[in-house]
Amino acid sequence: MARSALITGGTGGLGSAVTRTFLDAGWRVVVPLHDEAGRGRVPQHERLVLQQADLFDAGAAAAVLAFVDVLATEYRDDGIRANALLRSVIDTPANRAAMPDADHRRWVSPQRIAGVARFLCEDGSGVVSGAHVPV
26 φψ region: left (φ > 0), alpha (ψ -120 to 50), beta (else) = left
Q: What integer pLDDT is reported at residue 116 of this predicted model?
A: 94
Q: What is the DSSP string of 27-62?
A: -EEEEEESSGGGGGGS---TTEEEEE----SHHHHH
The total of other beta-carbon atoms located within 10 Å of residue 59's CB is: 8
What is the separation, in whole angstroms, between the first and last Cα of the chain?
30
**Could you tell me where the beta strands, DSSP code E, fall in the chain?**
4-6, 28-33, 48-52, 84-86, 132-134
Q: What integer pLDDT is reported at residue 1 of this predicted model?
A: 54
Q: What integer pLDDT is reported at residue 56 of this predicted model?
A: 65
Low-confidence ranges of the chain (pLDDT < 70): 1, 54-56
4-134 topology per CATH:
Rossmann fold (3.40.50)
What are the sequence ranges of the domains in the chain? Answer: 4-134
Using CA atoms, how far residue 60 sits from 18, 53, 64, 102, 110, in Å, is: 20, 10, 6, 29, 22
Q: What integer pLDDT is reported at residue 55 of this predicted model?
A: 66
pLDDT in tens, 62-81: 888 898 999 999 999 988 89
pLDDT in tens, 46-62: 888 888 876 667 777 78
pTM of the model: 0.75
Q: Which amino acid is at 41?
A: R
